[in-house]
């Protein structure tokens, strides 16, 4: 379902028409034996009051009658339509969402923490309202899914066999993300204003005791080759390195 423009009568013109009906009902009431007709006109005039509505800047007003979509009013103003219609309002101003952080894995198996920022607005109000249960939630879900798929296509480090890596080519990654997300958003009736990764950070796991001991010994030996150390200095440095390797993500 897509937007179709609804031709609604100006509310100001309808006020004039209702005033004329009211005057006519008053005149009929003054005539003999026409009191019932006058009261019917009065009643109809009162029912017609329900048809007035306003549309504000930055919103779309969707009008339906008996459960069927009739059209959308986009321009701001004061309108009148069928008194038994139902209206739904949808904000068309820009939305900015910060999504994440969440953990995932790059193509080369590196665990990452990532987050994205998107700026979007509703373009096709009918499509968004009738096909998306919650526009905000749906937009964020699509953005996260697209980011997840893209990240899994690239390695984090440039190992020589890949032309693009997540760590070294952020502008290329952001451009690819915006292009892919823009296409998906258009299918949902949404226009993407901007999209980018706020951060892509490597999460290296803490070392277990065996790994920490081996790595600490290697580091101490490397340092000893550059600058001779006493046994006490080696021991102290090894303890510090083991503690650091087991508690910090390095």
User: In the chain, what are the domain boundaries?
Assistant: 9-91, 95-202, 209-247
* Tokens (6 digits) for 6: 């609804």
Structure-model confidence comparison of residues 36 and 228, the more confident one: 36
| Contact between 141 and 97 (Cβ < 8 Å) | no
The mean pLDDT of 110-114, rounded to a whole number, is 89
pLDDT in tens, 24-35: 888 888 888 888
The mean pLDDT of 107-133, rounded to a whole number, is 92
Q: Tell whether the torsion through CA atoms of 165, 169, 172 and 176 is positive or negative.
A: positive
pLDDT of residue 197: 95
What CATH superfamily is the domain 95-202?
A: Band 7 domain (3.30.479.30)
Residue 163 to residue 128: CA distance in whole angstroms:
38
The mean pLDDT of 100-123, rounded to a whole number, is 91
- What is the average pLDDT score of the chain? 86
The residue written with tokens 């080369």 in the block is 108
pLDDT of residue 230: 77
| pLDDT exceeds 70 at position 213 | no
Three-class SS state of 10 = strand
What pTM, to 2 d.p., does this model score? 0.70
Under the banding of pLDDT at 50, 70 and 90, the label for residue 249 is very low
| Contact between 156 and 150 (Cβ < 8 Å) | no
**Of 153, 195, 154, nearest in space to 177 by CA:** 195
pLDDT of residue 236: 74
């Amino acid at each position: 379902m897509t937007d179709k423009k609804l031709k609604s009568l100006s509310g100001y013109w309808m006020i004039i028409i209702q005033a004329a009906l009211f005057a006519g009902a008053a005149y009929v009431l003054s005539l003999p034996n026409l009191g019932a007709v006058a009261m019917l006109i009065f009643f109809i005039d009162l029912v017609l009051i329900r048809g007035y509505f306003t549309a504000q800047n930055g919103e779309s007003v969707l009008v339906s009658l008996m459960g069927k979509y009739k059209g959308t009013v986009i321009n701001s103003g004061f309108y009148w339509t069928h008194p038994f219609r139902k209206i739904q309002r949808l904000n068309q101003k820009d939305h900015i969402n910060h999504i994440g952080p969440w953990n995932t894995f790059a193509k080369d198996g590196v665990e990452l923490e990532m987050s994205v920022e998107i700026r979007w607005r509703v373009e096709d109000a009918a499509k968004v309202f009738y096909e998306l249960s919650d526009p905000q939630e749906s937009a964020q879900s699509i953005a996260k899914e697209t980011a997840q798929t893209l990240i899994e296509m690239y390695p984090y480090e440039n190992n020589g066999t890949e032309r693009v890596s997540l760590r070294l080519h952020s502008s290329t990654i952001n451009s690819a993300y915006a292009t892919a997300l823009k296409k998906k958003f258009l299918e949902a009736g949404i226009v993407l204003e901007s999209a980018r990764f706020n951060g892509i950070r490597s999460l290296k796991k803490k070392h277990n005791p065996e790994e920490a001991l081996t790595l600490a010994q290697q580091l101490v030996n490397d340092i000893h080759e550059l600058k001779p150390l006493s046994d006490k200095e080696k021991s102290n440095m090894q303890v510090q390195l083991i503690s650091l390797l087991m508690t910090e993500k390095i």
